[in-house]
Chain A
Amino acid sequence: MKLYHWLSVFFLIGLLACGGGVAPVSDSTAPNATDWLVDTNFVRDGGPGKDGIPSLDFPEFITANSVTFLADSEMVVGTKINGVIRALPHKILDWHEVVNLETNGDNHAFSYCPLTGSAGLWSVPARFTNKTFGVSGLLYNSNLILYDRETDSNWPQMFNQAANGQLIGEKAVTHAVIETTWGSWKQMYPNTTLLSNNTGFSRDYEVYPYDNYLTDNTLLFALSRQDSRLHLKTRVLGVADANVNIVYPLNDFSINIQTINEVFATSEFVVVGSSQINFAIAFESRLSDGTLLTFTPVDSALPIVMQDNEGNQWNVFGEAVSGPRQGTKLKLKSDYIAFWLAWVPYHPSPTIHVF
């Protein structure tokens, strides 16, 4: 058989195998460029695919006394929902990122992104039939993008709203979470429960899945903005609104509880934190009745962390537990505790608070 005949045979086979062309084919249900509220140049496929990192859906929680797998120095994220106190350890969250919670009939989606060091708690809309969120497998500026299983819409965690899909633009209802050590959290809430490591998944929760990422000064994905003033993985409490864009590095708080009363034009808030207890949070200091409170720290009385000029004492969730305003709850001001690398793309050129 002549050479050109063989070449023709092979070319034909190749052509048929290619379906007559080499145009790329992508999943026809993937989001398209015109339907995102964030810059798609910085939305990336993280690798595992949708639900490749499995969420924990209504998992088991165990009492603090029965915990054997978590040291007091290890980090947890604490929640208080309808009076129920729970903690979720980083070492499990690093592997699952989204935990769907049900508390006395209310549903919440908890999320933690190991690449941006950010934790959040959202209410699941009551109208949803499927009341769970999952891990989309996508990242925006390295930040986890959740998806709701009701509509398949995509919600970048630190964006706090749906950025793509049927619910595009809908804002998440956020709730305070306290990121601290397990030992500190037990001091605050001795009756807490903890997310069990019996999750139903075969994962070694004693191993951090991202090598040296937690401490090194490297990125895994490109960011829309970077700022070299701080180490990329510096944990900061971020506060941002129309008047202010400021971060408070957690390691710079004093060992004892510290309060910082801030006034920027119409932005009035108090920041409270401690480097030893390893927590920080911010609340609006002007109440709905127009009263502007000023706060001083309270040590050795956890979960009470501060007292105001009226004599009210407030716990770490911004709830007045004693005084004339007992039962009042301060409005959450801070957006996230996150790595410095994560704050900058959302809020460029922030002020770094000098302690």
Chain B
Amino acid sequence: MKQATYNYRIAIAILLLLSPNAKSATCSCAGVSLTNTVNLTQFNAEQWQLSISFTQSDISDLVAGTNQINDETGRFRETDSLILGATYGINENWALSAIVSKIEHRRRNAIANQRTETSSGLGDSMLLVSYAPKKISPFNRNEWAYGLAVRIPTGENDAGKPIIFSEDLQPGQGAWGESLWLHYGHAFDQAARWQVYIDANYQVNGNNQRDYSFTNEWNLSAGVSYQLSDSWNFKAGVQYRSAVPHTRFGNNIPNTGGQWVNADIAIDYAINPATHLSLSTIQPLYRDLIGALQFTNKNSYTLSLSTLIE
């Protein structure tokens, strides 16, 4: 029983550390996902989980509708995000999580003498409460979880003064937001080597001080994971994201919003039963973006380290 419980903890930890849960794809602007390290079910009563992740996103694909366009300006647009997360299990079913971030955006067009514009600083933060009435265990192959979060505009959102950078180049959105998550997971066997998950997430964002809003989006992801060995786990999934256009003064901003389908692939290594190192990537499979010309993710890569504290 003790060994089974140990194996389940590893399997569950790996699944939930790898699963996107509330992860949303990095949007075609600066809407950096804060939730890569949030776990809705991987906690125990009076237990801490700490995580740190680094994501680098290349946002230089130029798309019109479903067509990728050759840019010819030699554009370079990248975002690095460092996210620290902490989750505390209040009891077996309830947990609180906190996330802080540090963001750096870089932009350059080759015509303009290769000069890079950089915006860097504290990003937005998030507080999340999650409720997991059912978790995968040796006696239960299904799990459910719900999460509710508030996005706190702790980040700088007027970088570049006196000439303020565009909204997508700001470390923070400058606006409050809310998110709702739903999670379902299923283990195919008692050993829980094969698991599947489905996650849904809806986000609402308010206006910043310049009456700009990243508005609303929802995300749906599904995938499978397989425990290759006691130390290695592999996961592959598909994400779907749908975002409405951003607004300023309540009016739609052209060339924002659309639909994305991405592949989410990850591999996890258990340094020890409680500590994991994970490498994941998001690769676009399909895009249908609103407007005549929109910049969006070419790809992103994330390296994460997380640990459970007994």
> Which residues of A line the B interface, CB within 8 A?
1, 3, 6-7, 10, 13-14, 17-18, 22-27, 29-33, 36, 40-41, 43-52, 54, 134, 138, 200-204, 207-211, 213, 216, 218-222
Contact = CB atoms under 8 A, between A and B. Distances in A.
Contact of A14 (B70, B84, B104, B120): B84
B163 A24 contact: no
Given A49-B112, A213-B254, A40 B162 contact: yes
Contact of B293 (A26, A200, A209): A209
Interface of B: 48, 50-52, 54, 64, 69-73, 75, 82, 84, 100, 102, 104, 107-112, 115-122, 156, 159-166, 168-169, 171, 210-211, 248-249, 251-255, 291-293, 307, 309
B162 A32 contact: yes
A211 B256 CA distance: 11
Contact of B292 (A13, A52, A207, A221): A207
Given A6-B309, A209-B255, A220-B251, A43 B162 contact: yes
Contacts of B165: 26, 45
B48 A54 contact: no
25 contacts: A13-B52, A17-B54, A17-B102, A24-B171, A25-B104, A25-B118, A25-B119, A25-B120, A27-B117, A30-B160, A43-B163, A44-B164, A45-B164, A48-B109, A49-B75, A49-B117, A51-B73, A52-B109, A201-B72, A202-B69, A202-B72, A209-B255, A211-B254, A219-B251, A220-B248
B251 A14 contact: no
Given A33-B162, A43-B162, 17 more contacts: A6-B48, A6-B307, A26-B117, A26-B165, A31-B163, A33-B161, A41-B162, A45-B169, A48-B109, A49-B117, A50-B115, A204-B64, A208-B292, A210-B292, A213-B254, A221-B248, A222-B210
A210 B115 contact: no
Contacts of A45: 160, 163-166, 169
Nearest to A145: B163
Contact of B115 (A7, A17, A29, A218): A29
A208 B100 CA distance: 40
A51 B109 contact: yes
A251 to B, nearest CB: 23
Contact of A52 (B48, B75, B248): B75
